[in-house]
Amino acid sequence: MKKVLEAKELNKYFYEPVEFHVLKDINLSIYSGEFASIVGPSGSGKSTLLYALSSLDREYKGQVLFDEIELKTLTNQKLAHLRNKSIGFIFQFHFLLADFTALDNVMLPGLKLGELTHEELEEKAMQKLDILGIADQATKNVNRLSGGQQQRVSIARALINEPRIIFCDEPTGNLDSKNAMNVFEMLKNLTREFDQTILMVTHDDSFSSETDRQIQLLDGKIIDRQ
């Protein structure tokens, strides 16, 4: 399997209010098509690791390679392009644009990338909403959707540019158990049916146990890989 992402000797420090060594000697590879989860107790460094691996944070020691390109060597402009084209993000809070429709929200990263016409993009966005089972909600303002539907819109948005990898930080954390299960099943379906690579931080053992691999963190160190 092709390596999508690799961390080599990744160490992260926070310096405020006191120096704190948060990630310790992380070596890790994520392969194309796998659904991996990062698990561990609160404060163990899961989100910090996800932010470094996903290029949102580049203030660390060591290397993170995306398709063998070291992220730290990219200019801000090249990094912004790589993020938009090759990386999808799903957070606990969806960060959708209020006052815009579901369809507009899904199309936005595609408009920014500028590779397709408006019509082509609209068709593609509708396909993504359809995969997520909410094509019938496309023209509704996102404020009028339920929490579970909003999170599905944010997944469709993450998919629009057909990213190499999707990073999820507690994607089900803000949902009731039924919607959480539903959103998790959608993510699982993306990996199983469409070979989408996903790396997900979660507190929920019932979800992480269903991923291909659990990366276990304790006090900033990887203690187990399955």
Ligand X SMILES: Nc1ncnc2c1ncn2[C@@H]1O[C@H](COP(=O)(O)OP(=O)(O)OP(=O)(O)O)[C@@H](O)[C@H]1O
Whether the CB-CB separation of 213 and 36 falls below 8 Å is answered with yes
Number of neighbouring beta carbons within 10 Å of residue 186: 19
Choices 38-46, 61-69, 79-87, 180-188; region in contact with ligand X by CB under 6 A: 38-46
Q: Identify which of 56, 62, 70, 29 has the alpha carbon closest to the alpha carbon of residue 167.
A: 56
46 binds ligand X (CB under 6 A): yes
Supply 46's token pair. 């899961």
Question: How many residues lie near ligand X (CB under 6 A)?
Answer: 13
Pick between residue 20 and residue 93 the one whose CB is nearest to ligand X. Answer: 20
Residue 42 binds ligand X, judged by CB under 6 A: yes
13 binds ligand X (CB under 6 A): no
For the sheet with 165-169, list strands across it.
87-90, 165-169, 197-201, 35-39, 213-218, 221-225
Out of 5, 7, 45, 55, point to the residue binding ligand X (CB under 6 A).
45
Nearest to 56 by CA among 83, 75, 30, 38: 83
The yes or no reply on residue 77 touching ligand X (CB under 6 A) is no
Q: Which stretch binds ligand X (CB under 6 A): 42-50, 127-135, 153-161, 174-182?
A: 42-50
Nearer Cβ to ligand X, position 40 or 109? 40
- Does the footprint of ligand X cover residue 92 (CB under 6 A)? no
